[in-house]
Protein backbone atom coordinates (compact mmCIF):
# COMPACT_ATOMS: atom_id res chain seq x y z
CA UNK A 1 0.00 0.00 0.00
CA UNK A 2 2.76 2.44 0.93
CA UNK A 3 4.56 1.81 -2.36
CA UNK A 4 1.46 2.65 -4.40
CA UNK A 5 0.83 5.86 -2.47
CA UNK A 6 4.49 6.90 -2.82
CA UNK A 7 4.31 6.30 -6.59
CA UNK A 8 1.06 8.28 -6.84
CA UNK A 9 2.54 11.14 -4.81
CA UNK A 10 5.66 11.24 -6.98
CA UNK A 11 3.58 11.31 -10.16
CA UNK A 12 1.31 14.01 -8.76
CA UNK A 13 4.28 16.15 -7.75
CA UNK A 14 5.96 15.72 -11.14
CA UNK A 15 2.70 16.55 -12.91
CA UNK A 16 2.46 19.79 -10.90
CA UNK A 17 6.08 20.62 -11.76
CA UNK A 18 5.36 20.03 -15.46
CA UNK A 19 2.18 22.13 -15.38
CA UNK A 20 3.94 25.05 -13.69
CA UNK A 21 7.01 24.90 -15.94
CA UNK A 22 5.19 24.51 -19.23
CA UNK A 23 2.65 27.17 -18.20
CA UNK A 24 5.47 29.61 -17.50
CA UNK A 25 7.08 28.74 -20.82
CA UNK A 26 3.80 29.28 -22.71
CA UNK A 27 3.66 32.75 -21.17
CA UNK A 28 7.28 33.46 -22.14
CA UNK A 29 6.71 32.22 -25.68
CA UNK A 30 3.78 34.65 -26.10
CA UNK A 31 5.96 37.69 -25.43
CA UNK A 32 6.50 39.59 -28.69
CA UNK A 33 10.14 39.59 -29.78
CA UNK A 34 11.42 42.71 -31.53
CA UNK A 35 12.74 42.05 -35.02
CA UNK A 36 16.20 43.32 -34.11
CA UNK A 37 16.75 40.56 -31.51
CA UNK A 38 14.88 37.62 -33.08
CA UNK A 39 18.01 35.90 -34.38
CA UNK A 40 19.70 36.12 -30.98
CA UNK A 41 16.72 34.83 -29.01
CA UNK A 42 15.75 32.09 -31.48
CA UNK A 43 17.96 29.38 -29.85
CA UNK A 44 16.45 30.17 -26.43
CA UNK A 45 12.90 29.88 -27.77
CA UNK A 46 13.73 26.68 -29.68
CA UNK A 47 15.23 25.05 -26.57
CA UNK A 48 12.24 26.17 -24.51
CA UNK A 49 9.90 24.32 -26.88
CA UNK A 50 12.17 21.25 -27.01
CA UNK A 51 12.45 21.11 -23.24
CA UNK A 52 8.69 21.34 -22.81
CA UNK A 53 8.15 18.51 -25.29
CA UNK A 54 10.70 16.33 -23.48
CA UNK A 55 9.30 17.01 -20.02
CA UNK A 56 5.75 16.19 -21.17
CA UNK A 57 7.03 12.90 -22.63
CA UNK A 58 8.90 12.20 -19.38
CA UNK A 59 5.71 12.78 -17.38
CA UNK A 60 3.84 10.37 -19.66
CA UNK A 61 6.58 7.76 -19.19
CA UNK A 62 6.42 8.17 -15.42
CA UNK A 63 2.64 7.82 -15.40
CA UNK A 64 2.76 4.63 -17.47
CA UNK A 65 5.57 3.18 -15.36
CA UNK A 66 8.14 3.15 -18.19
CA UNK A 67 11.09 4.00 -15.97
CA UNK A 68 13.64 3.14 -18.66
CA UNK A 69 12.14 5.75 -21.00
CA UNK A 70 11.80 8.19 -18.10
CA UNK A 71 15.52 7.80 -17.32
CA UNK A 72 16.52 8.35 -20.98
CA UNK A 73 14.31 11.43 -21.27
CA UNK A 74 15.65 12.77 -17.97
CA UNK A 75 19.21 12.44 -19.29
CA UNK A 76 18.19 14.30 -22.45
CA UNK A 77 16.56 17.02 -20.33
CA UNK A 78 19.70 17.35 -18.25
CA UNK A 79 21.87 17.79 -21.35
CA UNK A 80 19.41 20.23 -22.93
CA UNK A 81 19.17 22.14 -19.63
CA UNK A 82 22.91 22.82 -19.56
CA UNK A 83 22.74 24.36 -23.04
CA UNK A 84 19.54 26.21 -22.16
CA UNK A 85 21.12 27.74 -19.04
CA UNK A 86 24.19 28.84 -20.99
CA UNK A 87 22.09 30.51 -23.70
CA UNK A 88 19.63 32.08 -21.24
CA UNK A 89 22.47 33.45 -19.12
CA UNK A 90 24.24 34.87 -22.20
CA UNK A 91 21.01 36.70 -23.09
CA UNK A 92 20.83 38.13 -19.56
CA UNK A 93 17.92 35.85 -18.65
CA UNK A 94 19.46 34.25 -15.57
CA UNK A 95 16.03 34.04 -13.94
CA UNK A 96 15.10 31.63 -16.76
CA UNK A 97 18.46 29.87 -16.77
CA UNK A 98 21.06 29.11 -14.15
CA UNK A 99 19.24 30.77 -11.24
CA UNK A 100 16.35 28.31 -11.57
CA UNK A 101 18.73 25.38 -11.93
CA UNK A 102 20.60 26.37 -8.78
CA UNK A 103 17.33 26.80 -6.87
CA UNK A 104 16.07 23.39 -7.98
CA UNK A 105 19.38 21.75 -7.08
CA UNK A 106 19.10 23.18 -3.55
CA UNK A 107 15.51 21.94 -3.12
- The pLDDT value recorded for residue 54 is 97
Please answer whether residues 22 and 56 qualify as being in contact, where contact means their C-beta atoms are separated by less than 8 angstroms: yes
Confidence at residue 4, expressed as pLDDT on a 0 to 100 scale? 63
pTM: 0.85
Domain boundary assignment for the chain:
2-106
> How much is the average pLDDT of 64-85?
95
When pLDDT is cut at 50, 70 and 90, the band that residue 2 belongs to is low
pLDDT digits (tens, 9 = 90+) for 13-55: 999 999 999 999 999 999 999 999 999 999 999 999 999 999 9
CB atoms within 10 A of CB 38: 10
> Is 3's pLDDT higher than 80?
no
Amino acid sequence: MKRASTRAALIAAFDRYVAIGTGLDRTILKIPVPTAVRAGIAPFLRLTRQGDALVVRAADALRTGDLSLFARLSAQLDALGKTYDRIADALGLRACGSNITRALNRA
